[in-house]
Each structure stands twice: as structure tokens, then as C-alpha cells.
């Protein structure tokens, strides 16, 4: 018995040593909201034995446990920690009220009877370009049909009508870059750590992501409608593998995007002012904002972002003529420059096959502005 005990203790120690941990950020707290999809009267997708709502909750709670145990500088908030029903807009409100830095919504996929599929995929907010992506969004959004006054609460949105999803074409999430970064890291971990089939990173119109004011992703863990996937998703190993994969991605994301605060408040303030002035000057220089003859917003397609300035003719630009602006210490490359939003929108569509996750940004006299407000202004002038 003594030997077995020592072996168990040794295994626990080894596991602790290899588990990636958060670096402490002095005086600053990172808030992550973990959303277990469905719940209560809404079971989500149903397998032969399992319910999506239970799989989602098991993974969400285990993910939260890993973060709590290893990240002293991180606060975990659940949209639900038991089998209760929470509306889609209610989930977003929880995240916004918590002033979250990150929102992770956990779901389980399904197909109609007779179809078989395997693997994981992660979504960010956007317009569904493929029918399969649209079908996933329709299924996840259909939860509003069991909510009271859903037509009024969601402004007449019909989750089963393709026309309702057109609005997502004009919703440019300002956190798209960070969201895509996390989504890619999650998919990479699912593949390398859990050995799952990688079905990629996609965009689709999810209501639960629409109203969140922070980087957000929606994860589909696997297919409950495929027997062997259902067995895996419901197993202790499946829950451990999948939650650990998301945790590993979370750690990588946090190290990249969450910078520790500087102990000296005065020093931090001065550095911020200096960086802001430098970035403003760089933005005007590179985007040509000072040469504009009117006050109309200028639209551009942002195609990539790097931590270091790219050399002239870099292969990463794939032959596209681009300029850059700097923001939060990053070099952000754009192409196309027009006061005609439709012209830039068409350019974005052409570039999406080359630069996945490309999105539209807007400037006014060299200063970056809210793109949704710029779009509304453009339409009002038509």
C-alpha cells in the first residue's frame, strides 16, 4: 500500500511539473468567462445516451478548475455551474458585467441521423461562408426559441432563416484578431494534445458572441451524433483531454496578449503617453490620413498583424501591396484605402481565401475609429 501511495504522489508531481502555468501579473487580474452551452430545459444536441448540456458543463468545470489551480492572477466566471437554463443574451451580460478579458463558449456538435463526422472546430463571430457553418450557427442559435419574448429580445431575429444572418456581414468585431488567435491555438492543442481531427477555425453568426465586448470564441468539442465520438465525449478521458487542450491554448494566448502591469504607476503612465504619441505619428504616416481632404472615414482591409516590422517585399504579404499602422506594440498591415465601404468590402471578400480572418478597419484623418460607426455613417450618406 505504501508503494502504491508513493507512486500516485510521484505521478501527481510529474503532472504538476509538465502542466503549463500562468505567470503572475502584479496588481492586475485577468478575467475569463467560461460558458457551458445549453442547460436546464434546453438539452442541446442529444446522443443515444448523452446530452450536450452535460458534456459542455463537465468540460467547462474542468477547464475552470485547471485555471483556478494554476493561475493565481486569473478570475474564473461561469455563465452556469449547474444544470440551469441561461438565455443567450444573459450569457453575454454575465461576461460584460464581469468586464471579462476573454469569453469561451463550449458546445458539442451534431448532424442529422445517417450522417457521420468526427473532429473539433472553433468559431469566431462573422458571416458564415459555408453552408455547414451556417447550419451550426442555426442549431446553436435556435435555443432562443425556448426563451420568453425572444422575438422582441432579439429584434425579430429568426434563427432558422438565412436572411437573418445577413446582418453579420456588417458586424466587424474589433476583437477579431485576438479571437482568431485563440481559436487557432485551441485547434492546434486539440490536434497535438488530444489527438482529435482538426476541422479548422471558422466564422459564423452566433448570437452568444454578438453582444460580448471582449475576444470571444465558440468551441465545438466533437459530434455527439457519431457513436464513438459520443463515447469519447462522455468519458473521463475525453473531458480531461479536451479541457486540458483548451487550458493549454488559454495559457499561450494569455502570455501573448496579457501584459503584466508595471509596479510604478508614474512610469507606466509616461510610457503609455510616449507609446500613444509614437503610434499616432506612425499611423498618420503609414495610412496617409493627413492627406485626406475631407472628414469622411477611410476603410481598409487588415490582412495580418506581427510583433515585428516586416521587411520590404516580405513573403507574408503574398505579393499584396500593403501599408501598416502600429497599435499596442503590434504592426498591423492593411491594404486598400477608400471612403467607399462597399468597394473595400468587395476587396475583403476577394482576399479572404489568401488571408483568413481578414477584416475591415476604419480611420478618420489618420486616427483609427470604430468601424461599425463608420459603416453607419457611410450608409447614412448614401
* Percent of the residues in the chain that have a pLDDT greater than 90, as a whole number: 39
Per the CB < 8 A criterion, the answer to whether 120 and 249 are in contact is no
Distance separating the N- and C-terminal Cα atoms of the chain: 80
3 pLDDT band, cuts 50/70/90, is low
- The cell 500562468 sits on which residue? 22
Tell the CATH superfamily of the 273-381 domain: Sporulation related repeat (3.30.70.1070)
300 Cβ contact partners less than 8 Å away, ≥ 6 residues apart: 287, 334, 335, 336, 337, 344, 360, 361, 362, 363
- Which tops the pLDDT comparison, 312 or 174? 312
Q: Which pLDDT score is estimated for 292? A: 41
Q: Which pLDDT score is estimated for 189? A: 96
**Nearest to residue 381, comparing CAs of 342, 334, 353?**
342
Does position 335 have pLDDT exceeding 60, yes or no? yes
Sign (positive or negative) of CA dihedral 150, 152, 153, 157: positive
The boundaries of every CATH 3.30.70.1070 domain in the chain are 273-381
| For range 285-289, the mean pLDDT | 45
Per the CB < 8 A criterion, the answer to whether 77 and 100 are in contact is yes
Does position 11 have pLDDT exceeding 80, yes or no? no
Q: Which fold has domain 28-257?
A: Aminopeptidase (3.40.630)
42 Cβ contact partners less than 8 Å away, ≥ 6 residues apart: 53, 85, 143, 146
Of 10-14, 112-116, 204-208, 374-378, which gets the smallest average pLDDT?
Answer: 10-14
pTM over 0.75: no
* Percent of the residues in the chain that have a pLDDT greater than 70, as a whole number: 73
Write out pLDDT tens, residues 128-182: 555 666 677 676 767 777 777 766 666 666 666 665 555 554 454 567 888 889 9
Per the CB < 8 A criterion, the answer to whether 63 and 246 are in contact is yes
Report d(CA 374, CA 352) in Å as an integer. Answer: 21
| For range 216-242, the mean pLDDT | 96
Q: Which pLDDT score is estimated for 148? A: 74
The boundaries of every CATH 3.40.630.40 domain in the chain are 28-257
Q: How many CB atoms lie within 10 A of CB 331?
A: 17
Does position 226 have pLDDT exceeding 90, yes or no? yes
What b-and-e string marks burial along 153-187, b requiring 16 or more CB atoms within 10 Å of the CB?
Answer: ebeebbbeeeebbeebeebbbebbbbbbbbbbbbb
Per the CB < 8 A criterion, the answer to whether 120 and 198 are in contact is yes
Does position 270 have pLDDT exceeding 80, yes or no? no
Per the CB < 8 A criterion, the answer to whether 195 and 17 are in contact is no
Q: Which pLDDT score is estimated for 110? A: 93
Q: What are the angstrom distances between the C-alpha of 40 and each of 58, 80, 145, 157, 375?
A: 14, 10, 14, 23, 39
Alpha helices in the chain (DSSP H): 2-18, 52-70, 88-97, 131-141, 150-153, 176-192, 207-210, 227-234, 236-257, 265-287, 341-351, 371-381
How many residues are given for the chain? 382
- Which tops the pLDDT comparison, 359 or 59? 59
**Nearest to residue 182, comparing CAs of 239, 243, 252?**
252
> Grid coordinates in use for 261?
502591469
359-364/367-369 β-pairing: antiparallel
95 pLDDT band, cuts 50/70/90, is very high
147 by Cβ neighbours in 10 Å (0-12 / 13-18 / 19+) ranks as middle
Does position 6 have pLDDT exceeding 60, yes or no? no
What b-and-e string marks burial along 284-301, b requiring 16 or more CB atoms within 10 Å of the CB?
Answer: bebbebeebeeebbbbbb
Q: Which pLDDT score is estimated for 8? A: 52
Of 20-29, 89-98, 198-207, 277-286, which gets the smallest average pLDDT?
Answer: 277-286
352 pLDDT band, cuts 50/70/90, is confident
Q: How many CB atoms lie within 10 A of CB 29?
A: 12
**Nearest to residue 104, comparing CAs of 215, 203, 189?**
215
Does position 120 have pLDDT exceeding 90, yes or no? yes
Amino acid at each position: 500500500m505504501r508503494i502504491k501511495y508513493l507512486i500516485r504522489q510521484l505521478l501527481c508531481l510529474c503532472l504538476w511539473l509538465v502542466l503549463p502555468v500562468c505567470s503572475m501579473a502584479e496588481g492586475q487580474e485577468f478575467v475569463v468567462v467560461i460558458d457551458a452551452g445549453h442547460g436546464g430545459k434546453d438539452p442541446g444536441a442529444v446522443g443515444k445516451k448523452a446530452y450536450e448540456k452535460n458534456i459542455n458543463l463537465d468540460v467547462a468545470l474542468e477547464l475552470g478548475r485547471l485555471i483556478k489551480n494554476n493561475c493565481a492572477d486569473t478570475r474564473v466566471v461561469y455563465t452556469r455551474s449547474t444544470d440551469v437554463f441561461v438565455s443567450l443574451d444573459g450569457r453575454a451580460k454575465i461576461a460584460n458585467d464581469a468586464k471579462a478579458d476573454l469569453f469561451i463558449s463550449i458546445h458539442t456538435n451534431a448532424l442529422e441521423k445517417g450522417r457521420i463526422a468526427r473532429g473539433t472546430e472553433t468559431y469566431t463571430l462573422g458571416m458564415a461562408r459555408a453552408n455547414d457553418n451556417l447550419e451550426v450557427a442555426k442549431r446553436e442559435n435556435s435555443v432562443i426559441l425556448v426563451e420568453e419574448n425572444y422575438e422582441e429580445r432579439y429584434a425579430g431575429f429568426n434563427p432558422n432563416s438565412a436572411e437573418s444572418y445577413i446582418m453579420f456581414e456588417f458586424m466587424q468585431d474589433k476583437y477579431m484578431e485576438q479571437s482568431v488567435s485563440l481559436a487557432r491555438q485551441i485547434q492546434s492543442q486539440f490536434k497535438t494534445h488530444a489527438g482529435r481531427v482538426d476541422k479548422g477555425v471558422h466564422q459564423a453568426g452566433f448570437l452568444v458572441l454578438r453582444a460580448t465586448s471582449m475576444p470571444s470564441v465558440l468551441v465545438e468539442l466533437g459530434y455527439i451524433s457519431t457513436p464513438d465520438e459520443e463515447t469519447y465525449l462522455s468519458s473521463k478521458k475525453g473531458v480531461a483531454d479536451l479541457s486540458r487542450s483548451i487550458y493549454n491554448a488559454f495559457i499561450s494566448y494569455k502570455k501573448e496578449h496579457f501584459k503584466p502591469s508595471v509596479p510604478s504607476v508614474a512610469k507606466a503612465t509616461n510610457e503609455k503617453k510616449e507609446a500613444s504619441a509614437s503610434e499616432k505619428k506612425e499611423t498618420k504616416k503609414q495610412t496617409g490620413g493627413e492627406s485626406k481632404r475631407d472628414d469622411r472615414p477611410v476603410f481598409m482591409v487588415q490582412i495580418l498583424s506581427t510583433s515585428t516590422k516586416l521587411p520590404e517585399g516580405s513573403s507574408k504579404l503574398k505579393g499584396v501591396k500593403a501599408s501598416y499602422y502600429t497599435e499596442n506594440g503590434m504592426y498591423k498591415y492593411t491594404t486598400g484605402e477608400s471612403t467607399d465601404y462597399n468597394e473595400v468590402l468587395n476587396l475583403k471578400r476577394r482576399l479572404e481565401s489568401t488571408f483568413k480572418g481578414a477584416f475591415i478597419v476604419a480611420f478618420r484623418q489618420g486616427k483609427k475609429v470604430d468601424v461599425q460607426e463608420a459603416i453607419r455613417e457611410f450608409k447614412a450618406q448614401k
